[in-house]
Amino acid sequence: MSNETSDNARWERETLQQIVKEHLQEKKRARRWNLFFRLLILGYIGVALLSFVDWSSFKEAPAKAHTAVVRLKGLIADGQPASAATINKLLRKAFDDKNTRGVVLEVNSPGGTPVQAALIYAEIKRLRAQHPDKKLYAVVADLCASGGYYVASAADEIYASPSSMVGSIGVRLDAFGVVDLMHKLGIERRTLVAGKNKALLDPSAPRNEAQTTHLQHMLDEVHQQFIDAVKKGRGSRLIIDDDIFSGLVWSGESAKRRGLIDGFGDTRYVAEEKIGVKHTVVYEREKTLLEELTRGVGVSLGMVLSERLVEGVANQAAWRAQ
C-alpha cells in the first residue's frame, strides 16, 4: 500500500513538474512572439517613413552606350502601371540619357482610354523632334490593340511577331438595358434628374434615340482622332481600305501586308540591327523602398503564422492524449 502511495505521489509530482515546465515554455514563446510583432510593427513604420524618399535621385545613369528599353504593359489608363504619367516619365528619362543611342518601346497592351493613349503618342512625337538623332522603335509582344496601337503608331518603325495581334483601330462604349426585366419583376424606376440628358445611358430607362445619336457622334469624333494619328504616324506605309479602320485586329503577318507594322523582330533584333547597340538598359518605374522591403513579407509572415498554427494544434493534441 505504501509503495502504491509512493508511486502515486511521484506521478503527481512529475505531472505537476511537466505542467509547470510546459507553462513556462508557453510563456517564453508568447514573449518571443510579442517581441517579434512589436519589432515588425516598428519595422513597417520605419520603412513607411523611408518610402517618402525619392531613392531614384541617388541612382546614376548608365555610363555605357546602350539601347534604352521602356515597357508598356497592360491597360493604358490613369492610375495603372501603363498610365501616361508613368510611361512619359520613363520615355523622357530614356531620351534625355546622353548614352542612349535609340529607344525601344515594348508594347503588350489591349488598349485603354483615348486620352491616356493620346498623351503618350504626343509625348513620343515631342521627344522624337527634340532628339532627332535618337529613333524610337515599337516592338510588339502578344498584343498591340486599340490604344496600344495608337501609341505604337507614333514610333519611327513597328516590329512584331508573325503571331502577334495588331490593330483594332476603333472606339467603343459599352452599355446595357434592363427595362423589360424590371417590368417582369415589377420594379418601378424612380430616377430624378435636373437636365433632360443627365441620366444618359441609364440601364433602367428605355433607349433614347436622340441620346444614342449624340453618343455615336462623340464616338465618331474620337475615332477620327485615332485615324488621323495613325495616318500621321504611319504615313504612306499604311494601305488604306474599308477594313483598316473598322476595329478589326490582325495577325502580325496580315498587319505587315497592310502596313500596320514594318517587319518581324524582337527587342534584341531591333537593338542590334536597327539601332546598332546590342547592350540594352531597361528604364522602369522605381519601386519605393517600402515595396522592395515588403515584397516577400506577406508570404513569409503567412508561413510563420501557419507554422505557429500547426504547432498550437499539435500541442492541443498532445495534452488531449495525456
Q: Residue 306 half-sphere exposure, CB side, CA atoms within 13 Å?
A: 6
Say what the pLDDT of residue 244 is: 95
pTM above 0.75, yes or no: no
Q: What is the pLDDT along the chain (322 residues), one digit of tens a residue?
A: 556 666 666 776 777 777 767 777 777 777 777 777 677 777 666 555 555 544 444 454 556 899 999 999 999 999 999 999 999 999 999 999 999 999 999 999 999 999 999 999 999 999 999 999 999 999 999 999 999 999 999 999 999 999 999 999 999 988 888 878 888 888 888 888 898 888 888 888 888 898 889 999 999 999 999 999 999 999 999 999 999 999 999 999 999 999 999 999 999 999 999 999 999 999 987 655 544 455 544 544 455 445 555 455 445 544 444 4
**Strand-pair category, 249-251 with 66-73:** unpaired
Say what the pLDDT of residue 140 is: 97
